[in-house]
Structure 1
């Protein structure tokens, strides 16, 4: 299976051929994948070099001319390093772009903490008007990329990762998908966390919802699920733990509920290791998830029975 990032350049190159509004801005990362496309569209494929603030500023300038810019580099260099430009050049000026990241929270452990971005979605949450897609499979990444580019002049973040579920699902850029139904709580699995969540909750009487678009958050689907499964909600996100707990709280504000936010911890892991070792260290492997979700459900039952 190809990776999400391997799907990125062919899809966007095709969009450049099809739509004269589409432009691509790169900061050296990924430029080799666009060499042929750059020859076909030299005025709409721009490599600014290792200048991430300029990456966003140039993209905003292209948007001001009426183009639909797609900006790409590692997440830490796309959201964190040029955050002022994301906030002002795009948000303050009221223009849109599609930000497509790579490396996710810890896709390249050998790159060290400079190349890790577990706080990217939480950081974008401080800004208004962003749509955030977190695909869990290359097929979903392609669908959501096309959806993002076609989304008028909106500001959209597409978070690509090496981690992926075994199979893709039919996503539409809006809805939570019900994958499993139960009566003892709801687990919301975000993007590449779905396979681990399904394994972790096997045999547990819990509803599993799948999210590949986390902003805006599909509050209506969550409320429908809690009507039969109850209002104990577990969020399993591939980035900073608790990033979406406020969104769940808002969705269930008028109902008594409990929320457990699982994801990447705040403590910096200072050993390179492997992606799998980072997943385990943050308690996001299937075994750890089952233990943590099980303890959460058991605690509710203990309180309700007075044991």
Structure 2
């Protein structure tokens, strides 16, 4: 199966052909995938070189001229390194763009900590009016990319990962999807965490919600699920643990509830290893999730 990033250049190249507003801004990363598009649309495919602050600044400038820029590099170079430009050039100037990242939290362990960005969504949470898509399958990534580009002049972040669920589900760029219904708790699985969550909760009497658009946070879906499953909630996110706990708490502010946020830990893992080893070290494999989810809900989750 191809990866989400494999889909990125072909999908956006087609969008360049279809929509004269679409432009692509790159910083040396991913340029090969746009070689054909650059020949067809030389004024709308821009490579600024290894200059990530300029990457975002140039995108903002294109947006202010009426174009819809799609901006791509590794998450650590797209959100963290040029954060001031994301805050000011896009946010302060109210300029819309589609930021599309690769490498996620630790997709390329051999790249070391400079190429890891578990805090990217939490960092964007300090800014206003961002939509954040976290697809869990290449087919979902294609759908959400098209949603993002078509979203007027909004500010959108699409977080691509080599981690993927085994099959795609229908996604609409807005709502959480109910995958399993239970009576003793709610587990929200974000993007590529769904397969591990489903394996971890097999045989447990819990509702599983699937989230591929996490900002805005679908508080209505969470509230609806808690009406029958109770107000104990576990969030399983492929980035910094606890990133969405405040959003879940806000959604349930008027009812007694408990929320547990699972995700990537704050401790830096200083060995390269393999992706699967990082998943296990952060307790995001199915076995670890079952222990942590079961321990939080207690005996009530047994059918």
TM band (smaller chain): over 0.9
Question: Is 1:85 aligned with 2:85?
Answer: yes
Q: Distance in 1 between matches of 2:35 and 2:274?
A: 31
Provide the residue aligned with 1:285 in structure 2.
285
Provide the residue aligned with 2:274 in structure 1.
274
Q: Once the two structures are superposed, what CA deviation does each residue of 1:57-96 show, in whole Å capped at 9, x if it has no partner?
A: 0000000000000000000000000000000000000110
Equivalent runs, 1:1-307 vs 2, <5 Å: 1-298=1-298
| Aligned length in residues | 301
How far residue 300 of structure 1 moved from its aligned partner, in angstroms, is 7.6
Contact 2:184 2:300 in 1 (8 A): no
Question: Any idea what SS the aligned residue of 2:71 has?
Answer: strand
How far residue 202 of structure 1 moved from its aligned partner, in angstroms, is 0.2
In structure 2, stretches of 5+ residues that fail to align are none
TM-score, L = length of structure 1:
0.97
Q: Distance in 2 between matches of 1:30 and 1:206?
A: 41
Question: Any idea what SS the aligned residue of 1:209 has?
Answer: strand
Q: Distance in 2 between matches of 1:299 and 1:79?
A: 41
Question: Any idea what SS the aligned residue of 1:162 has?
Answer: coil
Q: Distance in 2 between matches of 1:224 and 1:297?
A: 19
How far residue 299 of structure 1 moved from its aligned partner, in angstroms, is 7.7
Contact 2:16 2:22 in 1 (8 A): yes
In structure 1, stretches of 5+ residues that fail to align are 302-307
Question: Any idea what SS the aligned residue of 2:209 has?
Answer: strand
Q: Distance in 2 between matches of 1:184 and 1:28?
A: 49
How far residue 147 of structure 1 moved from its aligned partner, in angstroms, is 0.1
Q: Once the two structures are superposed, what CA deviation does each residue of 1:170-201 show, in whole Å capped at 9, x if it has no partner?
A: 00000000000000000000000000000000
Q: Distance in 2 between matches of 1:225 and 1:36?
A: 47
How large is the RMSD of aligned CA atoms in angstroms? 0.8
How far residue 298 of structure 1 moved from its aligned partner, in angstroms, is 1.1
How far residue 160 of structure 1 moved from its aligned partner, in angstroms, is 0.1
TM-score, L = length of structure 2:
0.99
Runs (4+) off by over 2 Å: none
Tell me: CA distance 1:226–1:119, structure 2 relative to 1, closer, same or farther (3 Å): same
Question: Any idea what SS the aligned residue of 1:50 has?
Answer: coil
Contact 2:133 2:173 in 1 (8 A): yes
